[in-house]
Structure formats: structure tokens, C-alpha cells
Structure 1
């Protein structure tokens, strides 16, 4: 028997914020580690995939993030999901975009105006 899975209505904002706060630093560190060569690209991709699986378990509807921090988190996730290894490691502009987002999530830099992501 098939069971229809749909988005839960009314997922508490505090649960969403806590999830982002818990996962954003790990994603940021993984991205920076990959750029610096201390973390394997495939390990970083696995980390991103695991975080997305945890997000999907919450059944949060897609759409606009609650704040700039969450928006930047999704921006970074989308970048990391879309870039192949050679695109990330061989393109200084992409490294800048990823590094800027990661530094902001870690509290080490300013948020750039164009760092806008949406919930999957």
C-alpha cells in the first residue's frame, strides 16, 4: 500500500531556526575545507546530502527563508549542490562566492547582497 507524504502544516519556526543553526556551521566548514584541500570533495558532497535528508525529514514546505542567515544557508547549499569538483576547485570566482557565504555563516564575514537562497 502506498502512503502519500505531504508537507506538515505549521512546522514551528523555532524548529526550523534550530535546524539551520545546527547544520550551517558544518556545511560552511566543509565547504571551506574542500576549497583549502583539507576535505575531499566527495566527503563535502556527502555532508550536504546528509543535511538535506535531515531537512526533508522535517517536511518543511519550500519557499522563502525566515531570515538572511537561513537565506545564505540555502544559497550555499544550492551552490555546493550545483558545482562539479572542477568547477569549485578550478574557478576562483566560484571559490569566492562559496567562501563568502561560508564566512558569513560562521560569523567571520559580512553578508553579500546577492546571497539569496530559497528552501527546497
Structure 2
């Protein structure tokens, strides 16, 4: 299974999230932090793509990409990478590292593995 982890700023548009996901590649589900899973923009992305949306805890999950800003805000180096890994659980691996939308408002990363 392939899960796309999605990170985004509060002002991100559906176009921003779509661009980040398109840059990362195809997925069977979307994942983001539990708090961000409540945002209308990610719900709209899930509906538009016909994909399930999984809210996960991301703090403390090691990621290949490291952002000081994201570490301070979310307790992990990349919200997108951490969400993708957390949704799949142990044994998951990043196959597409964090990609950034053209406008810099959203990120996406793809992990593969068996669902948690």
C-alpha cells in the first residue's frame, strides 16, 4: 500500500495540496496530523481524489528530511514524511521524500508498507 503524507500551511488552497500530491506521485490513501485532518482543505482533497484520509500522531517519528520550523511546530522533521510513515506503521519506508508545492504552501511524501 502507498500512503501520501500531506503537510500544509493554514492558508494553503486545494490547488496547493493537489500540486504537492501530483509532484509526489500516486497513493492509495492520504495521511496528515490528527489536528490537520480536521481542515476542510484536506477533506476536499480526499473527496476529489476518492481516497481515505487518515489522521495520525506525528511527534517523535524520525524522518529523512529535517526542517527546524516543522520540528518546533510538530515534533518531527517533516510532517508529510512522518504522517505517511505513521499511517503504515512498523516496516514502512519512504519511497518519495518530501516534495513541495510550487507555491511552497504544501508538502507531500509517499511511503510504502502494510497498513498498521
For normalisation by structure 1, the TM-score amounts to: 0.24
Q: Which has the higher helix share?
A: 1
Q: Which has the higher strand share?
A: 2
